[in-house]
Chains A and B, each alone.
Chain A
Amino acid sequence: MIPTMPIFLLGFSLSEVLPTSIQLSYLVATSLFFFGLKQLGSPATARNGNILASIGMFLAVAATLVDRGVLNYPMIFLGIIIGSVIGAVTAQKVAMTAMPQMVGLFNGLGGAASALVAVAEFYRLVQNNLDITVGASITTVLGTLIGGVTFTGSMVAFAKLQELMTGKPIVFPAQQPFNAFLLGAFLFGSVFLIIDPNNTLVFLGLAVISLVLGVLFVIPIGGGDMPVVISLLNSLSGIAASAAGFVVMNNILIIAGALVGASGLILTVIMCKAMNRSLANVLFSAFGGDGVAGSGGAGGAIETRTVRTVDPEEGGMMLGYARSVVIVPGYGMAVAQAQHSVRELADQLERLGVDVRYAIHPVAGRMPGHMNVLLAEANVPYSQLYDMEDINPEFERADVALVIGANDVVNPAARSDRNSPLYGMPILDVDRAKNTIVIKRGMNPGYAGVENELFFKPGTMMLFGGAKDAVAKLVSAVKQL
């Protein structure tokens, strides 16, 4: 028996299957999800939107618990309590700098839950000797595939972001043919299962292939492309929930999942545009891998060119006597957890009457909006953060552009060098400021593996050191002015 039916098929004739009140609660909950996500799109209402969505979720869960088929209360409540405690503790403890891997991990858990729903439904049908229709076979297989890929893909993304494994692309010979082979095997197995729907072994094989595909999908993608991957996995976690909705035929899962799928896809497209690359290019080109290998040869050339360095005292003086300073944060700031020091530096500069602004590149960091979250944590006023389009014309009038742990997003080769892998990516025009100070640990190329022309420009000065340490030294230098 199908647990629930789509609302508008339900009418009143099927109301003995599920009380209408449960379905109406789902309808209210779905509306709350829509309102909530809508309000999450505007700074003034965002917090309210999140609360609305969580009320919707609470309502949906409460309604489901009164379902006549739900009897196993002690165990279900135990599960909910365990999950809530783990979720609440993690949410409170996680550092803002660890937010990308946190979102990655949660995406994975959601995907795993959706996959388990599909697998459990398959076993329920088999164990109870229920008739497995073609439709049921297709939906359980799809649910397992999407959920499984979301789960292991997110776990690999998590491991990369948490630096449990290398952030570099992992490639092996014949990777694409192998993926295609697995996909082919999956399709073949699915057809087999439709013909012989009670074949547990084939189903298990399909589940394993799904998990392997998730791993293979994310390992060739490098750390700097994580904003795209995280948004895409976010989208997939929604679609996985939708697929689980098809499995148990429940509208609220289908609709809420589709909403999340849409929101994740919107972010994915924004991130791809910010790098001027197609989604296919991000997923399949193992970007950053070849470049790193290639730069070994170019390494000699780097040595012979001179860069100007600056010590913190001199840098502090330049900043302190400037009229206008634009700070460009990047992943290096996040890694060093330097956002509070940066804020302190800005405070000291403002005390001296310097106009301080922040330039945020859409793909700076490891997830969409990464820099905004970190600077918000450090209490940087919202009004000082500028998007790329708004700040780029302003660089010409800025006395100093201070680049903190950003590299590829400020590489002028993206504008001028047709042979650069970065060519065509919109960048922050820091080289147009009168002076540019770059805080960096060394001369290593950025994620793209491309040497940065910016460092060799006459107006550029390098301040070598870890972001937190270097900024702290700048703060004490500025304090003495």
Chain B
Amino acid sequence: MTDTLIMALFVFVLASFAGFEVINKVPPTLHTPLMSGANAISGISVIGAIVIAGPQNWSLSVILGLVAIVLATINVVGGFLVTDRMLQMFKKKEVKA
């Protein structure tokens, strides 16, 4: 096992702990927006897809990378926009209350 892989594992584990600390205690009203907002962030694999689709000459991996770009971008753009749409509704109502 390479050092790089071990280091990446450290990053993963520490980020998970940090995530638990940052996100705990979310009120039920925000469960759906939190989920769809987090969902949009999971589209971060678009970064990996762009790197894979980077080379100029065509190959199977470039094509797969391009497909991944489309799918991940739908996830990112759709996820953030739909979350905003939901949160806008919450906002409107709070002003009234």
Contacts and interface: CB of A to CB of B under 8 A. Distances in A.
Interface of A: 2-6, 8-9, 33-34, 36-38, 40-43, 46-47, 49-51, 53-54, 57, 60-61, 64-65, 67, 69-72, 75-76, 79-80, 82-84, 86-88, 90-92, 94, 96, 99, 102-103, 106-107, 109-110, 112-114, 116-117, 119-121, 123-124, 127, 133-135, 139, 230-231, 234, 237-238, 240-242, 244-267, 270, 360, 362, 367-370, 372-373, 376-377, 379-383, 385, 387
Contact of A120 (B64, B85, B92): B64
B66 to A, nearest CB: 5
A253 B38 CA distance: 13
A79 B8 contact: no
Interface of B: 1-5, 7-8, 11-13, 15-16, 18-20, 22-56, 59-62, 64-94, 96-97
13 contacts: A3-B51, A41-B23, A41-B34, A50-B83, A75-B62, A84-B73, A87-B79, A110-B75, A120-B60, A127-B60, A259-B22, A369-B32, A381-B97
B11 A255 contact: yes
A237 B8 contact: no
A160 B72 CA distance: 23
Contacts of B35: 103, 230-231, 234, 263-264, 267, 367-369
A112 B48 contact: no
Contacts of B62: 72, 75, 120
A182 B5 CA distance: 27
Contacts, number: 399
A30 B52 CA distance: 21
B90 A102 contact: no
Contacts of B89: 96, 373, 376-377, 379
A38 B22 contact: yes
B19 A259 contact: yes
Given A76-B50, A106-B36, A50 B80 contact: yes
